[in-house]
Amino acid sequence: MSCLGFLTAAQREALAASSAAGAPLSTFASPAASPGKTRRVRSLAGSADARIRESAALSAHAPHDVLTVLAGDPISSVRACVARNAGAGPLLLRRLSGDPEAVVRAWVAANPQVTDDVLQLLIGDADPSVRAVVEWAGRWPAQEGGTR
Amino acid sequence: MTQTDVRPDQTFRGILGTGIEEGLLLKPVTYQWAMDLYDQAVANTWFPNEIQLGEDLADFERMSADERAALTHLMSYFNPNELLVNKALAFGVYPYVNAAECHLYLAKQMWEEANHCMSFEYVLETFPIDRAAAYESHVTVPSMAAKEEFEVRFIKRMTEQTLDITTTEGKQDFVRNLVAYNVILEGIWFYSGFMVALSFRQRNLLRNFGSLVDWIVRDESLHLKFGMNLVLTVLEENPDVATPEFADEIKQMILDAVEMEEAYNRDLLPNGILGLNADYINTYVKYLADRRLDELGFGAHYGVANPAKWMAAANDTLQLVNFFESTNTSYEVNARQG
- ipTM of the prediction: 0.81
Cα separation, B119 vs B124, in Å, equals: 9
Count of structural domains, chain A: 1
Range of the domain at A76: 34-137
Is B122 designated active site? yes
pLDDT at A21: 63
Please enumerate residues of B whose Cβ is less than 8 A from a Cβ of A.
Answer: 39-40, 43-44, 46-50, 118, 121-122, 125, 202, 204, 207, 211, 218, 315-317, 319-324
Nearest CA in chain A to B116: A28
The whole-angstrom distance between residue B275's C-alpha and the CA centroid of its chain comes to 24
Looking at the domain assignment, is residue A15 inside a domain? no
pLDDT in tens, A50-74: 999 999 999 999 999 999 999 999 9
pLDDT at B139: 79
Is B223 annotated to bind a ligand? Reply is: yes
Length of chain B: 338
Is B113 annotated to bind a ligand? Reply is: yes
Cα separation, B130 vs B13, in Å, equals: 51
Is B169 annotated to bind a ligand? Reply is: no
Is the CB of A29 less than 8 angstroms away from the CB of B321? no
Domains of chain B: 33-41+49-337 (1.10.620.20)
Mean pLDDT by 10 residues, chain B (338 residues): 49 79 84 95 92 91 89 88 92 92 96 95 90 81 88 88 90 95 93 89 89 92 95 96 96 96 87 81 94 94 86 48 40 34
Nearest CA in chain B to A45: B43
pLDDT at A64: 95
Cα separation, B16 vs B27, in Å, equals: 17
pLDDT at A128: 87
CATH number at residue A115: 1.25.10.10
Looking at the domain assignment, is residue A24 inside a domain? no
The active-site residue, picked from B77, B105, B122, B191, is: B122
Q: H-type helices in B93-189, by residue range? A: 100-126, 131-140, 142-158, 168-178
pLDDT at B3: 41
Nearest CA-CA distance, residue B323 and chain A, Å: 8
Is the CB of A103 less than 8 angstroms away from the CB of B49? no
Nearest CA in chain A to B46: A59
Cα separation, B21 vs B98, in Å, equals: 10
pLDDT tens digits in sequence order for chain A, 148 residues long: 455 567 788 877 887 776 666 667 777 777 777 888 899 999 999 999 999 999 999 999 999 999 999 999 999 999 999 999 999 999 999 999 999 999 899 999 999 899 999 999 999 999 988 898 898 888 888 776 666 6
User: Is residue A33 less than 8 Å (CB to CB) from chain B?
Assistant: no
Amino acid at B183: V
Nearest beta carbon to residue A140 from set B43, B204, B321: B204
Q: Which residues in chain A have Cβ-Cβ distances shorter than 8 Å to B322?
A: 129
Looking at the domain assignment, is residue A19 inside a domain? no
pLDDT at A49: 94
Is the CB of A25 less than 8 angstroms away from the CB of B121? yes
Closest CA to A88 of A132, A56, A119: A56
The DSSP 8-state label assigned to residue A6 in this structure reads: G
Is B73 annotated to bind a ligand? Reply is: no
